[in-house]
Amino acid sequence: MSSVYDRMGDKHLDFLKEIGNVGAGNAATALSTMINKKVDITVPNVKTVPIAKVPFILPNPEELVVGIKMDVLGDVEMETLLIFDSKGAKELINLLMMGMVTVEDITQIGDMEKSAMKEVGNIICGSYITALANFTGLYLDPLPPDISVDMISAIISEVSLQIAYTDDRIIFIETLLNIQDVEITGYIFMIPKGESLEKIFKSMGLM
């Protein structure tokens, strides 16, 4: 039996990108309100990626990154993972903390900075999940996010172990944040479990 990823074409990626655009717009509004700064978020690219190649999406696959993971339960089960590379994470934290804290080493970020980053993850991933629920009519229940600082290969391996029995690919949603002319790249990965991705597409008449 073929994988759902083998049956995906442009219409499926266009659908996921449209959801990403709607979610990005809502996330930008919420983030702008949160930090009182102008925020633009765009989604230039959506594609499927083999799990083994995920680390190589980043400029430096071996550097430490900040990962915010949100589990989703309900009519479908999946995980969303938002990754910021070291440079992007430091720039974002410095903006969030409004100059009160300057981060030089992401391994040294404190509880206040982690809380701010988790809220960013909550807004961005949550906006995507809300848009997906609104489009499909499916009930999706996002859980509170977790945060970790590690190499992306270590973060993604924990996720991939949970889906290895169903597929070796996940969905990558490139996300660009522009905050007061500072551009930061976010890497969103959507990891549906079991038959969840097929259920999403079927709800839209795409399969």
Which of 72, 118, 75 is closest to 96 using CA atoms? 118
Q: What is the pLDDT of residue 177?
A: 95
Q: What is the pLDDT of residue 166?
A: 56
Here the tokens at position 87 are: 């440079």
Strands (E), 51-151: 64-74, 78-85, 140-142, 146-151
Which of 59, 92, 83 is closest to 147 using CA atoms? 83
Q: What is the pLDDT of residue 114?
A: 92
Q: What is the pLDDT of residue 21?
A: 94
Question: What pairs with residue 186 in β-bridges?
Answer: 175
Could you tell me the CATH number of the domain that includes residue 97?
A: 3.40.1550.10
Domain count of the fold of the chain: 1
Q: Which amino acid is at 110?
A: G
Which of 91, 173, 193 is closest to 125 using CA atoms? 173
- Beta-carbon contacts of 200 under 8 Å, excluding residues fewer than 6 positions away, are 76, 132, 136, 138, 192
Question: What pairs with residue 45 in β-bridges?
Answer: 174
Q: What is the pLDDT of residue 168?
A: 79
Q: Are 127 and 24 in contact (CB under 8 A)?
A: yes
Write the DSSP assignment of 86-107 as a string of letters: HHHHHHHHHHHTTTS---S-GG
Q: Which domain holds residue 120?
A: 4-203
pLDDT in single tens digits along all 207 residues of the chain: 568 888 999 999 999 999 999 999 999 999 999 888 899 999 999 999 988 888 888 888 888 999 999 999 999 999 999 999 999 998 888 888 876 767 778 888 889 889 999 999 999 999 999 999 999 999 999 999 999 999 988 888 776 655 554 567 889 999 999 998 889 999 999 988 888 999 999 998 987
